[in-house]
Each structure stands twice: as C-alpha cells, then as structure tokens.
C-alpha cells in the first residue's frame, strides 16, 4: 500500500512538473514574440520614394523604362544631410546612359549596377530599385509582350513590387 502511494505521489509530481514546464515554455514563446514584434514597430525610419517614367534606352534593341526607387536613410541622419532626390534621379539617368549597349546586358545587371551606385553614392541605409521594361501588345523583332521588371534590394527594406498597367 505504501509503495502504491509513493508511486502515485511520484507520478503526480512528474505530471505537475511537466505542466509547469509546458506553461513556462508557452509563456516564454509568447513573450519573445511580442517583444520582437514591438521592437520592430517602434524603430523610427525615414524613407523616400520617387519614380521616373518613360525613359528611353538603347539597351536590348531599344526599350522604354519606368524606374521606381524607395530608400531609407540612416536613423541618425540630420535634416541638412538628406540629399535632394533630384541628385539621385540624375545619377540614375546618368548610370543608364553609360550602359555599354554593345554588351546587351540583362536588365538585372543594369539594375544591380544602378541600385548599387545609388546606395554607395548617397547617405542611404537601404534601397530597393525596380527597373520596369514597358511591354507592347504586338511586339516587333526587338520587343517581348507584356511588362517585365528587375527588382534589386540592398539592405533592410521591403522590395518594391510595382505592377505594370493592366491591359485594356
């Protein structure tokens, strides 16, 4: 009889310890999830976005591009250090004009070089660049149907995802 009570008491203690352990794990997971989420939302950020529409390029037989740029400044940037976006715009257009079209580079390569140049040339913490090639309904020998895009993202920022216009 004493052995039965002892076994019952030990089993009871094991079940009770397991319940406490499971409860502790559950509370720990919920606390960790809340703290991480709150910390991410509380971080201040200064972002800017601009677009350049209808840029003519000679690359890949000649195409029209739409360019979209979204970038984030370092959190400690002073107001006087924020660059005029038109300087980034000019740098982007100059970069496109300097593409060696004899090599017929892929749009992904052009966009990588363009986005990297902007990230390294200005006080930018993170940047995402979308180079959108304007599509045509009835493509010629150098065209392909539909809009297509290269998206380059450097740093902690959500990638751009700007769709082309819907066909009528």
Identify which has the larger pLDDT, 147 or 5: 147
Q: Parse the chain into domains and list their residue ranges.
A: 1-43, 46-154
Q: Residue 4 has what pLDDT?
A: 60
pTM, entire model: 0.72
- % of the chain beyond a pLDDT of 70: 71
Whether the per-residue pLDDT at 14 is higher than 70: the answer is no
Q: What is the mean pLDDT of residues 139-165?
A: 88
Residue with structure tokens 């079209």?
101
Rg of the chain's alpha carbons, rounded to an integer? Answer: 28
Q: Write out pLDDT tens, residues 99-111.
A: 999 999 999 999 9
**Phi then psi for 64, rounded to 5 degrees?**
-105, 135
pLDDT of residue 62: 87
In CATH, the number for domain 46-154 is 3.30.1130.10
- pLDDT at residue 115 greater than cutoff 90: yes
Q: 19 - beta bridge partners?
A: none
pLDDT of 141: 72
Query: What percent of the residues of the chain are helix, what percent strand, and what percent coil, each to the nearest 5?
Result: 45, 25, 30
Kindly indicate the confidence band of residue 61, based on its pLDDT and cuts at 50, 70 and 90: confident
d(CA 100, CA 17): 70
């Amino acid at each position: 009889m004493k052995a039965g009570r002892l076994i019952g008491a030990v089993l009871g203690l094991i079940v009770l310890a397991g319940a406490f352990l499971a409860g502790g794990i559950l509370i720990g997971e919920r606390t960790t999830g809340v703290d991480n989420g709150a910390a991410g939302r509380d971080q201040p950020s200064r972002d800017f976005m601009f677009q350049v529409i209808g840029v003519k390029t000679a690359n890949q037989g000649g195409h029209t591009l739409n360019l979209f740029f979204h970038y984030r400044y370092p959190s400690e940037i002073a107001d006087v250090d924020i660059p005029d976006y038109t300087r980034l715009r000019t740098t982007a257009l100059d970069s496109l004009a300097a593409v060696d079209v004899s090599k017929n580079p892929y749009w992904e390569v052009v966009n990588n070089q363009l986005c990297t140049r902007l990230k390294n040339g200005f006080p930018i913490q993170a940047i995402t660049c979308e180079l959108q090639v304007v599509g045509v309904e009835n493509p010629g020998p150098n065209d392909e149907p539909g809009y297509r895009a290269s998206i380059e993202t450097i740093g902690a920022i959500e990638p751009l995802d700007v769709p082309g216009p819907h066909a009528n």
